[in-house]
Structures are given as structure tokens and as C-alpha cells.
Amino acid sequence: MPTESDTHYDPSLGNKFIFVTGGVMSGLGKGITAASTGRLLKNAGFDVTAVKIDPYLNVDAGTMNPYQHGEVYVLEDGGEVDLDLGNYERFLDIDMTSDHNITTGKTYQHVIEKERAGDYLGKTVQIIPHITDDIKRRIREAAEGTDVCIIEVGGTVGDIEGMPYLEALRQFAHEEPEENVLFTHVTLVPYSKNGEQKTKPTQHSVKEVRSIGLQPDVIVGRCEDRLDPETKEKIALFCDIPTDAVFSNPDVEDVYHVPLMVEDEGLDQYVLEHFGLDDEALPEGERANEWREIVTSEKEGEVDIALVGKYDLEDAYMSIHESLKHAGFEVGSDVTVHWVAADDLSEGYDGQLEGMDGVIVPGGFGMRGSEGKIRAVQYARENGVPFLGLCLGFQMAVVEYARNVLGLEGAHSAEMEEDTPHPVIDILPEQYEVEDMGGTMRLGEHTTVIEPETLAYELYGDTSCSERHRHRYEVNPEYFDQFEDEPLTFSGTAGNRMEILELEDHPFFVGTQFHPEYTSRPGQPSPPFLGLVEAILEQTDAGTETDSETADADADAETEVTH
């Protein structure tokens, strides 16, 4: 909470709430719009948090297919949530909890459990008031202790599963002072074939919102370009809001530029004035500017990294892509990720990894693609290509080494092959009796002890680190002795669990049982990702120097021959 010494904010004003809804179609960028608004308010000196409402019946995102829903993002407390919470953590630089993700499954489960316990004293349990009351309670509890809470309602207005949430928001606005609540509606503004920006989809979407009892205070138009002045005026006229409450959110080169774009549009200033906080905020000249400096820093050169996975979908590996960006910001280099299907590597490399500066094998579950991932590890190990293995990638590095160096023929993970003669990766002991799939893995933040004088120690600069986990399998303790005197060493442990591996006499070969990508931020890149990119640049520089020396030697030889 900002103190009087920095923003003059009066805590007695209470929480401010920004509700973000979307219309026309899903996937418009409500989450990025919301996160960008929060980033600007944080720059102005306020404590900001966020809540993501997911109307699906799942209790959490843990059992959802990445093809359908993108990556499962893991929070510090072990919550398995929608990838939008990852954007909130990265943009706001905060650690969120499971309480910041509201799902229909979670809400209904809680209300039904209360009904079974007799807490409603014989009343008929209904959507209104019991479900809507629970939704409002969750929002207020998540907002506690902060100045502004941004609540994003997933899906599109008009979806049947989202109706209880919109009703809860209507009630919420009725219960709170008008100056404490702001409704932002994000819509699509497409182009017609003759190049005209069309407002009719926005008009229909707002009509749907108003029929539910909600009136948008702000409309953000997603379009390829900035909205024309006449487009803004038309939206304002037909949606009954001031023209200066209509904002553009055009396509940009990088999502990290969205806060800069909406700041140029004046969205943050409008929100502050609506809440009566413009006099309480830090003066514009004193607001934090690190974000702009980081994301607009000049880049020199380009790093090409192969991401060897099973899902041909960027959203399935969102945090990995973002972590590589953060590392690129830090070293001043563009990082380009090249998708390589693990299935295609099962029989060989087929040249797909040749020319890549680095290789990442990410996490995942199931047999499909495992042999291709093992081959990718082998390629990186044998050819001196910088490598980073994450969770399953770490485990496949252990399998590859066991097969091809230790000579344990048929070595594998018991997850992939139950009858393997050498289960170098086996199920966690506490998982033997587990039957339910949701929320039962080893989840959340755990501490890893790091051996001094190791690459892991150089990366983290400490003898321990705390990172987030999501796994059921681990390195089998029965095989520890066989790795003891090997160049492949386990430099990070958690009791009897192997957490970090590294390979001696290799430019960069690191695997982590945990997921370091979940804690990476702009300006605070994840150590393993930063280490990978730095190793690639060192290798590239060394190669450039060698080429230069060779060229000079050739020139000298040619001169001698000439003379």
C-alpha cells in the first residue's frame, strides 16, 4: 500500500475494482489489456493485484489439454491455473495465489460442500444469492491489502457459463460506491474489405452487456491499427459513453509494448480520474520508467533456439517463450524460437537441429514424442550445443545419458515404459496410492540446495534456490551410485531428490526438475534461461573470433605467396 510519503494515497478510500469483460470473440487480449492497465497503475505508485475468472466447470486448469487451453501455469502455492495469471505475474511483478483464480468448479464445489454440511440451515441453494455471494466474497478476499484489483472475466459476454459471474458483478457494483468500480469492455473492431473500421460488432457486444445490467465505463477497441477519431466518436455515440472513454489497443510487435501503447492513449490517466486518484498518484515525471527502458532497449544480433516439444502451439509453452525474451532483454539480443516436433526426431535429426544455437526440451506428459526428445538431448550433448532441459526434459537427459553413456540398454522412465529394465526415472513414492489426477502432483515452490563451485551455483549465485514444480516422477534413487563419478552430475538436490543436473566440459548443459520459466520477469530473467543465452553468445563470439583469426592467417599466407 503506498504511504503518504510517496503517493499521498488515503487508504481509507478503500479498494478500487476494475472489471474487464470481452465481446465479439474470445482470445482478443483481455488479459494483456488488463495486465497493461495494472502495470501503469503500479508505475503510478499503487499496489495492484488481479483476479482471473474462468467460467469452465474444471476446479482448476491442471487436467486441461494444452492444445485446447494453452500452458498450465503453476503458482507459488501450487495452484494450477490459466496462462493469463502468468501474464499478470510478469506484468505486475507479483506472486499470486490460487485465490486469484476463480473457476465455476471451485465455486460450485465450495457451495455444495457448505450445503452438505448444513450451513445454509435448510434454505434452497440457488445461483442467486449463494453462487453470486461466493463469487463476490472471493473477489473481495483476493483484493484485500491492495489499492486496485483488476478482475478479468474469461470468455465472451453472452456465453451461458459466464452469466452468474456477470450477475455477481452487477450486484458488486450496486454494493460499492460508484467511484470505486470501473467496467472495461474489450471488443473487436475489424476492417471491411474497403478498409473501413467497423463498429457494429462493438455495438452489438455492448448491447449484450447492457441487457445484463452492466454499463461499460471504458471501451477498448482491438484493431490492427489505432482507432480513427470518427470510429471512436461512433462507438461513443452508440454505446453511450464519452468519446475520451474509447481507447485503441492496436497490434504491436510485442505484448510488452501494450502498456506503452495504452499509456500513449491516456487509459491510465482516465482510470485514475474515474477513481479520483489522479491527485494521489505519483507525478508523471516521478513514475517508474524501468518497464519502458527494458522492453524498448536496442538489440544486437539474433539467437536461434530449437524448442523440441509435442504441442505445435506457442501458448502451450508461453512461459518458456517469455523467459527467453527476458533473457534477450538482459543481454541485448533478439531470441528467436524455432518449433521442432519431437515426433519428427524419433528416427533421427533430419537436419532440423542443425544450425540451431541452442536446444530446449520442455516439460510434458505421456509417451508421445519422448524418443524424439531423447534424440534432441543426445544431439546437444554430442555436438556441444547449449542445452536446457525442463522437468520432463531434465528426465529425458537422465535417460539419454543412462542409455548412451552408462550403457544401460533399454533405460527409460517408468511413466513411458512400465516394463523398462532400467527405470532411471520412477514415480515419486508419495504418488503410489494417488488415484485422482487433479491437484495431486508435487506442485508449487520447493527449495533446492545447490552445490558450491558448480555451474548451478554460478547461475543462481547462491547455495539454494526456490522454484516451482509440477511432476509425478523423479530420478530413481537406486541409480544414484551409477552417476556418482560421471561428468553428468547432480548439482542441485532436495533431500533425496535430484533437482539440477549439469555436464562437465560442455558449453552449457543444464537440466532442472523444476520449472524456472514460471518465475522469470522482464528485468529479472530466470537464471537458467539467462545462462543458456549467455553461453550461446559466448560460443558465437568465440566462433567469430576463430573465423576472423583464420581469415587473417589466410590473408597472411596469400601475401607471402604473392611476394
> Where does the pLDDT of residue 462 fall: very low under 50, low under 70, confident under 90, or very high at 90 and above?
very high
Consult the annotation and say whether 292 binds a ligand: no
Consult the annotation and say whether 160 binds a ligand: yes
Question: Mean pLDDT over residues 336-349, rounded?
Answer: 85
The CATH number corresponding to 299-542 among 3.40.50.880, 3.40.109.10, 3.20.20.140, 3.40.50.12280 equals: 3.40.50.880
Beta strand pairing call for 101-103 and 48-54: parallel
Give the model's pLDDT for residue 435. Answer: 73
Grid coordinates given for 391: 522437468
Which of 10-19, 170-179, 415-424, 486-495 is the least confident region?
10-19
Give the model's pLDDT for residue 366. Answer: 82
Highest mean pLDDT among 287-301, 362-376, 391-405: 391-405
Consult the annotation and say whether 252 binds a ligand: yes
Consult the annotation and say whether 30 binds a ligand: yes
Consult the annotation and say whether 139 binds a ligand: no
Give the model's pLDDT for residue 9. Answer: 47
pLDDT tens across 3-14, in order?
Answer: 444 444 455 445
Consult the annotation and say whether 392 binds a ligand: yes
More confident residue, 490 or 438: 490
Consult the annotation and say whether 22 binds a ligand: no
Active site residue 517: yes
Q: How far is the first Cα of the chain from the last one, in angstroms, to the nearest whole number? A: 77
E strands present in 331-382: 334-341, 358-361
> Where does the pLDDT of residue 562 fall: very low under 50, low under 70, confident under 90, or very high at 90 and above?
very low
Domain boundaries, the chain: 16-294, 299-542
Active site residue 445: no
Encode burial over 412-439: b for 16+ CB neighbours within 10 A, e otherwise. bbbbbbeebebbbbbbeeeeeeeeeeee
Give the model's pLDDT for residue 504. Answer: 95
Consult the annotation and say whether 215 binds a ligand: no
Question: Mean pLDDT over residues 332-345, rounded?
Answer: 93
> Where does the pLDDT of residue 74 fall: very low under 50, low under 70, confident under 90, or very high at 90 and above?
very high
Which of 108-117, 287-296, 436-445 is the least confident region?
436-445
Q: Could you count the other beta carbons within 10 Å of the beta carbon of residue 534? A: 19
Burial tier of 195 (Cβ tally within 10 Å: 0-12, 13-18, 19+): exposed
161 touches 167 (CB < 8 A) = no
The CATH number corresponding to 16-294 among 2.60.260.20, 3.20.10.10, 3.40.109.10, 3.40.50.300 equals: 3.40.50.300
Active site residue 515: yes
Beta strand pairing call for 442-450 and 488-494: antiparallel
Query: Is it true that 16-294 and 299-542 share their CATH fold?
Result: yes
E strands present in 261-417: 302-309, 334-341, 358-361, 387-390, 411-413
The catalytically annotated residue of 100, 185, 469, 515 is 515
2 pLDDT more than 70: no
pTM of the model: 0.91
432 pLDDT more than 90: no
Give the model's pLDDT for residue 285. Answer: 86
Give the model's pLDDT for residue 312. Answer: 82
136 touches 169 (CB < 8 A) = no
The catalytically annotated residue of 391, 467, 506, 534 is 391
The catalytically annotated residue of 263, 322, 474, 517 is 517
DSSP label of 224: S
